[in-house]
Structure 1
Amino acid sequence: MKQIVLKRPGGLEHLALVDAADPGVPGTGEIRVRLHANSLNFHDYAVVAGFIPTNDGRIPMADGAGVVEAVGAGVEEFRVGDAVVSTFFPQWLDGPARIDNFSTTPGDGIDGYAREAVVRPATWFTRAPRDWSHAEAATLTTAAVTAWRALVVEGGLKAGDTVLTLGTGGVSIFALQFARLMGARVIATSSSDAKLERLTALGAEHVINYKLMPEWGRRVRELTAGRGVDHVIEVGGPGTLPQSIEAVRIGGHISLIGVLTGRGGEIPTAALMAKQARLQGIIVGSRTHQREMIAAIDAGALRPVIDSSFALEDIADAFRHEASGQHFGKILLEF
């Protein structure tokens, strides 16, 4: 069996394709999954690049999709041949958030899915959307569940709401797609006019080039007749949060999902108080959130936006492409 290991943390040059022992047959409550695809996320890149510490020999990648090859005793949810996709927090099955770290996250605190086969508890996976390829399903675990939880679970998104998305990362694009699926309006930002054209094609009603308009929060207010947006998908952190606070309506919801501009900085707390807005940290979601999201996908007409695909052994090149910032949509590994 082939798998990728991070021989030692701290750089893409330490990623290696190796032969490994077959995982064997599933025990009670377990399934054996033949994996066919991973998708890349910033969190995965942070692990392999050494920004997040992990162990020598770690198998990376949180997002894994494939097909059930065998089912252990007591498993009733899955059958051989079912297409499945992994979950980000295997121990968080339902209920409110109860995890504040990545110690149980595949590809970080435990071994991930950059390999051909695994035997894992059945509850570590959900069914994939109907008629989706394994590559498409692999886009869901981190980015899509994060966007779903931010907008639908925590934000209470409804038809007629207005959503502001920042940039063109996986979470922001899925947020745009979920918002449009549910009848909401979207205002989207990017520093690339070419990417703004693609966001418009996906259904964004208004787009803003934040490099040309640094005070984009004010522009969002203008586009909403002074009211502001109901929801902000905030992926930048301290460098963008002041503008997000400017853009949100009184009593609105800001989902703090990323810190791409850094971990610390000045935040206009008085402005946040005046807006009486809810600023909520979001780290992906539970297995139930993923199952509910997939049910919504099956009921609608949504397909993921895929930028490019690499072979498993070309994982370092895939991460270099991600680091370049030139991609639009998800980057995949297929094997």
Structure 2
Amino acid sequence: MSITARIVTVGDPATLDTLRVGEGEIGAPGPGELLVRVRATSLNYHDYAVVTGMLGPRPGIVPMSDGAGEVLAVGEGVIGFAAGDRVLGLFFPAWQDDEIDPAKRSVIPGDSTDGFAASHVVRPANWFMPMPEGLSFAEAATLPCAALTAWRALMVEARIKPGDWVLTQGTGGVSLFALQFAKLAGARVIATSSSGAKLERLRALGAEVTINYRDIPKWGREAARITGGVDAVVEIGGAGTLDQSIAACRMGGHISLIGVLAGVAGPVATAHLMGANVTLKGITVGSRRQQADMIAAIVSGGIRPVLDESFPLGRLAEAFRHQESGRHFGKIVVTMDDT
């Protein structure tokens, strides 16, 4: 059994211009493996860092951490999967449950090993779990990284409850999932963006309050004034926005640091952080068990991921350029279509 798969690989040097679209032969699954026809993947900042060399050289690797598709064949000894099953990948396949440790984060599809920028893949069965009922492949492919990061930040670490105030930043995938999960939990949302049109869309998704951070540079203080201090912040900016997130928090608030888009290092208001007894917790996605809990909530709550533009696999570089532009609202997806 052999399938000719369409595959994208990272170039040397790694740039969007050197992403290579080609073909490769995919064989039958071995013991403990699945042959999966990938139907969709989605863009995360982590993927962008891989394909542009920000994480170091990865020449020849198949990028993309997220993947959703259908099982074509099952290897010997695999239990719980059958041909025809619709499946979803895991960002940390080795992190099945319990607390994170170095071994559990040692395997990352599209980074430490080949990912899902391919029409067909053979991967270990424990890389996958059943897709949520009622979602398309494109919608499901947005869940393993962005959605799970938002879920862990709010539901596992901050443990938000009805009536809490949650602050989200911008309109990327993690932030929009955070808004949706917060509303599902009965919390209130105060959201920031620099675009009036995007702020309007955030309000349509349920944000009670929005702040244009271009107009109000001290948006953290403004958020605290409006809410009396937020209970939880989903921090995507890093050093460039952390001080404002600290300023936004109530005493005893919680900040989940999940990104460094505005800076990887810089001064932090440590005295304010300490004095307000604010908890700052770094978040790197989540475990299989947490993903299963999240999927159950998505299905029962009727959440639909917010999708932006869709690109075929052969235009993966163009998809990343769209991500670079910052024009997107929600998740950019890539399908395995030929055109």
How would you bin the TM-score normalised by the shorter chain? over 0.9
Query: Is the contact between residue 163 and residue 186 of structure 2 (CA under 8 Å) also seen in structure 1?
Result: yes
> For residues 170-213 of structure 1, what are the alpha-carbon distances to aligned partners after superposition, in whole Å with 9 as ceiling and x for unaligned?
10010000111111110000011110000000000000000100
Counterpart AA for 1:82? D
Q: Quote the Cα distance in structure 1 between the aligned partners of 2:71 and 2:59.
A: 29
Q: Quote the Cα distance in structure 1 between the aligned partners of 2:80 and 2:169.
A: 37
- Please point out which of 4, 7, 16 is paired with 1:12: 16
Q: Does 1:133 align with 2:136?
A: yes
Q: Does 1:187 align with 2:190?
A: yes
Counterpart AA for 1:292? D
- Please point out which of 75, 92, 95 is paired with 2:95: 92
Q: Quote the Cα distance in structure 2 between the aligned partners of 1:261 and 1:108.
A: 22
Counterpart AA for 2:114? D
Q: Does 1:51 align with 2:54?
A: yes
Change in 2 beyond 3 A, CA 1:156/1:184: same
> For residues 136-176 of structure 1, what are the alpha-carbon distances to aligned partners after superposition, in whole Å with 9 as ceiling and x for unaligned?
10000110000000000111122221100011111001000
Query: Is the contact between residue 42 and residue 334 of structure 2 (CA under 8 Å) also seen in structure 1?
Result: yes
Q: Which residue of 2 aligns with 1:239?
A: 240
Q: Secondary structure at the match of 1:126?
A: strand
Q: Does 1:328 align with 2:329?
A: yes
Cα deviation, residue 116, structure 1: 1.1
Q: Quote the Cα distance in structure 1 between the aligned partners of 2:104 and 2:321.
A: 26
Q: Which residue of 2 aligns with 1:299?
A: 300
Q: Which has the larger displacement, 96-105 or 191-200?
A: 96-105
TM-score, normalising length: structure 1: 0.96
Q: Secondary structure at the match of 1:294?
A: helix
Runs of 4+ displaced beyond 4 Å: 100-103
Cα deviation, residue 28, structure 1: 2.5
- Please point out which of 206, 219, 223 is paired with 1:220: 223
**Percent of aligned pairs sharing the same letter:** 57
Q: Does 1:229 align with 2:233?
A: no
Runs of at least 5 residues in structure 2 that lack an aligned partner in the other structure: none
Q: Quote the Cα distance in structure 2 between the aligned partners of 1:311 and 1:114.
A: 10
> For residues 268-307 of structure 1, what are the alpha-carbon distances to aligned partners after superposition, in whole Å with 9 as ceiling and x for unaligned?
1000001101100001011111111111111111001011
Q: Quote the Cα distance in structure 1 between the aligned partners of 2:28 and 2:161.
A: 45
The aligned runs of 1:1-335 (5 Å cut-off) are 1-22=5-26, 24-99=27-102, 103-224=106-227, 226=228, 228-335=229-336
Q: Secondary structure at the match of 1:58?
A: coil
Q: Quote the Cα distance in structure 1 between the aligned partners of 2:179 and 2:129.
A: 23
TM-score, normalising length: structure 2: 0.95
Counterpart AA for 2:87? V
Cα deviation, residue 108, structure 1: 1.0
